[in-house]
Amino acid sequence: MLLVVGAGPGVSGSVARRFAREGYDVGLLGRDEEQLVRLAGELEALGATVGRALVDVTDVAATTAAIQRLAAGSGRVDVLHVNPSAYRAADPLTLTVAGLLEDVALGVGALLTSVQAARPFMGAGARVTVTGSMAADEPSPAAASLGVQKAGVRNLVHSLDRTLAPNGIRAVSVTVRGALAREGVFTPDRVAEAIWAAAHQDEAAWASEVPYPG
């Protein structure tokens, strides 16, 4: 089973379709019911069994309960994909501490909650994948919190990978080095292909961060 946290019409939707085409059943967590229903229909048309949960992934208790319900239905989580981040138009001189912490709760905290909730259903060979961004290295002052989120989530992925590796579970962040677009290298479908490849790396040469394009 693929479990997608922060499911929507962009990269996360493309990831869900990519895995569904390979025979994965899919669990979807997100805040927009219309988008969840639409994506679930697309995945079912591809032959996937789909579960969905309408949840604010910054709500730890609600997210934990939703993940455990969806995972229990399948009995296992093979891949946990965590996608959310917050875009806030505020530079470092206008960004408030409250705003920064709210964004980090989404862009980093949701990963922590999701892994902790899914861990009982993840066995050897399971994978955690995260949509990363070049904002971790080259933050835009106009959206200062995004860079903090992406640097934080990358750091957490490295820690998760080292923690989970002894049990045969690996984590990887795919650092997207460009802006998403409808055409060219940075379409959601092409990023999803990179995430698929990252999840299926040779474990003997595992990298917990993979740049895209490589």
> What pLDDT is stored for residue 39 in this prediction?
97
Domain spans in the chain, listed from the N-terminal domain onward: 2-212
Q: What is the pLDDT of residue 187?
A: 97
Token pair, residue 153, equals 């989530």
Cα–Cα dist 172/20, whole Å: 20
Q: Cβ neighbours of residue 122 under 8 Å, at least 6 residues apart?
A: 76, 77, 78, 80, 164, 169
Q: Structure pTM?
A: 0.95
Task: Give the span between the Cα atoms of 3 and 199, in whole angstroms.
Answer: 13
The confidence score (pLDDT) of residue 104 equals: 98
One DSSP character per residue, 58-115 reads: T-HHHHHHHHHHHHHHHS--SEEEE-------B-TTT--HHHHHHHHIIIIIHHHHHH
What is the predicted pLDDT for the residue at 117? 98
Which pLDDT score, from 0 to 100, does residue 147 have? Answer: 97
Q: In a structure prediction context, what are the per-residue pLDDT tens digits for the chain, which is 214 residues long?
A: 999 999 999 999 999 999 999 999 999 999 999 999 999 999 999 999 999 999 999 999 999 999 999 999 999 999 999 999 999 999 999 999 999 999 999 999 999 999 999 999 999 999 999 999 999 999 999 999 999 999 999 999 999 999 999 999 999 999 999 999 999 999 999 999 999 999 999 999 999 999 999 8
Single out the residue of 156, 154, 155, 165 nearest to residue 127, CA to CA.
Answer: 165
Q: How many CB atoms lie within 10 A of CB 138?
A: 10
Q: Exposure of 206 by Cβ count < 10 A (0-12 exposed, 13-18 middle, 19+ buried)?
A: middle
Q: Which residue has the tokens 């740049």?
A: 211
Phi, psi of 79 (to 5 degrees): -140, 130
pLDDT value, residue 44: 98
- The pLDDT value recorded for residue 62 is 98
Query: How would you label 88-116 residue by residue, b for 16+ Cβ within 10 Å and e otherwise?
Result: bebeeeebeeeebebbbbbbbbbbbbbbe
Statement: 2-212 belongs to CATH 3.40.50.720: yes
**DSSP annotation of 186:** T
What is the rounded CA–CA span in Å between residue 131 and residue 193? 12
Beta-bridged to residue 53, according to DSSP, are: 29
**CA neighbor of 131 nearest in space, from 199, 66, 65:** 199
Alpha-carbon distances, residue 205 vs 118, 119, 127, 200 (angstroms) = 25, 23, 15, 11
